[in-house]
Chains A and B, each alone.
Chain A
Amino acid sequence: DADVTQTPRNRITKTGKRIMLECSQTKGHDRMYWYRQDPGLGLRLIYYSFDVKDINKGEISDGYSVSRQAQAKFSLSLESAIPNQTALYFCATSDSLAGETQYFGPGTRLLVL
């Protein structure tokens, strides 16, 4: 089984809808991250969390919110989806005691119409 899972893997939604992307991990890592990937721009950090009670904004947090419900779960919400949020979204984890390497989920492909 994959160590970092994301649901759903694909999602089509309409402008103005609220949607949630979920990430779960079985690696026991304390740190979790959400990124979006657009063609030609690489990955950009949306939000990150270093512990259950810790939430931090990344480079492009506007229009997004997150919830760290437990050490193993980190959810990303789009409060009111807009077409330019169409992208590939990745969750990642890392272990603060083991170094800076991040482990990525398989991604969620989101299309906002």
Chain B
Amino acid sequence: SQQGEEDPQALSIQEGENATMNCSYKTSINNLQWYRQNSGRGLVHLILIRSNEREKHSGRLRVTLDTSKKSSSLLITASRAADTASYFCASVFGNEKLTFGTGTRLTIIP
């Protein structure tokens, strides 16, 4: 399987705290994307970082990319109950197929 790994598999934090999720992938990439999935529903795109970028911000999201380690991290600051979801990284190489990681299930405790 070419799937990447995400760490941790599950994370529970108090509302207002920051949440950090990590992703490792296996091949060289054009870009890496993060998606959110609310329970049993379709995935929603959050942010994309290209292979020549090291950090990117979007609202309360911060993504970093280390191509030498084939890893990325997603930081959600000042978490809210609505952030409770599963988060997936997806790496893109070549003809733009996405290869998804196994996901991190995030629970925000009010």
How many A-B contacts at CB < 8 Å in the complex? Answer: 60
Count chain A residues whose beta carbon lies closer than 8 angstroms to a beta carbon of B. Answer: 29
Q: Identify which of B14-22, B63-71, B92-100 touches chain A.
A: B92-100
The 7 closest A-B pairs by CB, nearest first: A104-B42, A42-B100, A43-B100, A42-B102, A104-B43, A101-B45, A106-B42
- B48 near A40: Cβ-Cβ < 8 Å: no
> For this complex, into which size category does the number of interface residues on chain B fall?
20 to 34
- A102 near B42: Cβ-Cβ < 8 Å: no
B39 to A: closest C-beta gap in Å: 11
Of B2, B41, B98, B101, which one neighbours A102 at CB under 8 angstroms? B98
Of A42, A96, A109, which one neighbours B101 at CB under 8 angstroms? A42
Of A44, A94, A96, A101, which one neighbours B100 at CB under 8 angstroms? A44
